[in-house]
């Protein structure tokens, strides 16, 4: 019989789980990973990666219909939705297979099945693995990492039904592009789908319960983005709720309430994007000291739960619920278990956030309001893309960069961007924050010309009254 005793067992093979397993193996731990579905988890298979493949297709579709601004023309431009979806699925499969290769390369033992704690950790850290009701293996380890992720939240009366009311999963594999669509929720997921379907030709309406779209972003960026979306033809209702859905044979009638008034629209499909729920069920948390708060496991700065030897990372724990945050938590957790001396708790203020709509949104650190509310005397800088030569040359003059500095110390408190490729650019500010760079160092940094990154430099200069090109 195979030896099923390990130094570490990771439950869940998403970005947090597989990275934790690889890092553990690098540190010499005998490691097992249990995944009930596909390696790579939601992110690689149904989230981060395939959605970007779809958004790339919609970007191409948009450009093909605006070729005249570059001196080109094309007739009878069409697309095959089945091929668009097939490419997205192929990209996801390629990366999921890549994770399998990484597991083999790092000698991580992978078990295909549903994992469940078989009693408190004091009894030896036992994990029972089963598949389709049949036992697969009984594992044992002194350290267990929960990385079971999360799933889409539902709302009473708005429950998804696969055909007419979709979650992100159905929205990624439509049989055809609907002519009209209602998106409930304007966070990153909702806005990305709204952007994709609008650029693919659908009439799109977005309903957001809060007073602005992309509500976690800086208010100025949110307002800028809304104007851009509405210019594209997306209809947006903020401070609004969907009170009821009436499902027909091949459409949905929705009642929207805002400001005490109701309106009715009929669309072919509805996408629910109203948050996530942690996967805490059927993991075996009963009888342990694990605390669960609103479906998410409570952990300390080292990702330890209340049960000694049991850890939790990723979407299963607190916000922000981002793949790159999960990956870093996996590394921090495992390195702390290994007793490394140079491990530092995760500073959420240094985690960048990206939304891959058109125009893209990216940010790191405090918004202007959050900084003022925290008592900082702030210096604010702005720079528009219309003042940047590369953005104009690309035909992408719609955008803005905003910086937030501590007026007393020069610390970069936050950076907020909207425009072409800002999801690639934000890492410059993220590095600056991680290195605790001041405004003086950023101003003395040489940015290459011509690049969109020059807008980042100018936004720093502007905070101190030194902008050159605007």
- Catalytically active residues are 449
* Token pair in block for residue 306: 């209340």
The answer to whether the CB of 125 falls within 8 A of the CB of 309 is yes
| d(C-alpha 224, C-alpha 360), whole Å | 11
| d(C-alpha 217, C-alpha 417), whole Å | 10
The answer to whether the CB of 413 falls within 8 A of the CB of 366 is yes
Pairing between β-strand 235-238 and β-strand 150-152 as defined by DSSP bridges:
unpaired
Largest CA distance in the chain: 72
Give the 3-state DSSP-derived string for 14-54, with helices as H, strands as E and coil as C. CHHHHHHHHHHHHCCCCEEEEECCCCCHHHHHHCHHHHHHH
| d(C-alpha 47, C-alpha 38), whole Å | 13
Residue closest to 125 by CA, chosen among 141, 146, 139, 137:
141
For the chain, helix, strand, coil in percent to 5 are: 35, 25, 40
CB atoms within 10 A of CB 75: 4
């Amino acid at each position: 019989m195979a030896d099923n005793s390990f130094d570490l067992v990771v439950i869940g093979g998403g970005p947090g789980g597989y990275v934790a397993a690889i890092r553990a193996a690098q540190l010499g731990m005998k490691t097992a990973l249990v995944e009930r579905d596909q390696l790579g988890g939601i992110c690689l298979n149904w989230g981060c990666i395939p959605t970007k493949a779809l958004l790339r297709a919609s970007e191409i579709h948009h450009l093909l219909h605006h070729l005249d601004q570059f001196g080109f023309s094309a007739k009878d431009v069409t697309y095959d939705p089945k091929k668009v979806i097939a490419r997205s699925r192929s990209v996801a499969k390629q990366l999921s297979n890549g994770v399998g290769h990484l597991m083999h390369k790092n000698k991580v033992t992978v078990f295909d099945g549903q994992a469940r704690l078989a009693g408190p950790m004091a009894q030896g850290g036992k994990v029972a693995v089963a598949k389709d009701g049949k036992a697969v293996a009984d594992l044992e380890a002194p350290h267990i990492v929960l990385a079971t992720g999360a799933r889409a939240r539902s709302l009473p009366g708005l429950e998804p039904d696969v055909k007419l009311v979709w979650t992100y999963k159905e929205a990624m594999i439509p049989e055809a592009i609907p002519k009209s669509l209602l998106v409930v929720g304007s966070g990153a997921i909702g806005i990305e789908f709204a952007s994709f379907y609008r650029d693919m030709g659908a009439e799109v309406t977005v309903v957001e319960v809060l007073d602005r779209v992309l509500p976690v972003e800086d208010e100025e960026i949110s307002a800028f983005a809304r104007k851009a979306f509405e210019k594209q033809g997306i209809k947006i209702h903020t401070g609004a709720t969907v009170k009821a859905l009436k499902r027909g044979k091949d459409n949905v009638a929705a009642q929207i309430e805002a400001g005490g008034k109701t309106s009715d629209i009929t669309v072919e499909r509805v996408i629910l994007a109203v948050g996530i729920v942690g996967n805490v069920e059927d993991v075996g948390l009963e009888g342990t000291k694990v605390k669960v708060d609103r479906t998410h496991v409570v952990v300390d700065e080292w990702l330890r739960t209340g049960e000694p030897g049991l850890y939790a990372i990723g979407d299963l724990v607190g916000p922000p619920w981002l793949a790159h945050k999960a990956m870093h938590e996996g590394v921090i957790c495992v390195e702390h278990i290994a007793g490394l001396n140079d491990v530092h708790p995760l500073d959420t203020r240094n985690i960048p956030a990206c939304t891959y709509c058109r125009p893209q949104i990216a940010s790191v650190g405090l918004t202007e309001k959050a900084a003022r509310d925290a008592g900082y005397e702030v210096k604010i800088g702005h720079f528009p893309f219309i003042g940047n030569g590369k953005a104009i040359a690309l035909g992408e003059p719609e955008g803005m960069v905003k910086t937030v500095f501590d007026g007393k110390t020069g610390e970069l408190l936050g950076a907020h961007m909207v425009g072409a490729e800002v999801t690639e650019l934000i890492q410059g500010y993220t590095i600056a924050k991680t290195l605790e760079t001041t405004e003086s160092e950023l101003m003395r940094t040489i940015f290459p010309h011509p690049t969109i990154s020059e807008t980042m430099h100018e936004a720093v200069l502007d905070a101190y009254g030194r902008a050159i090109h605007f």
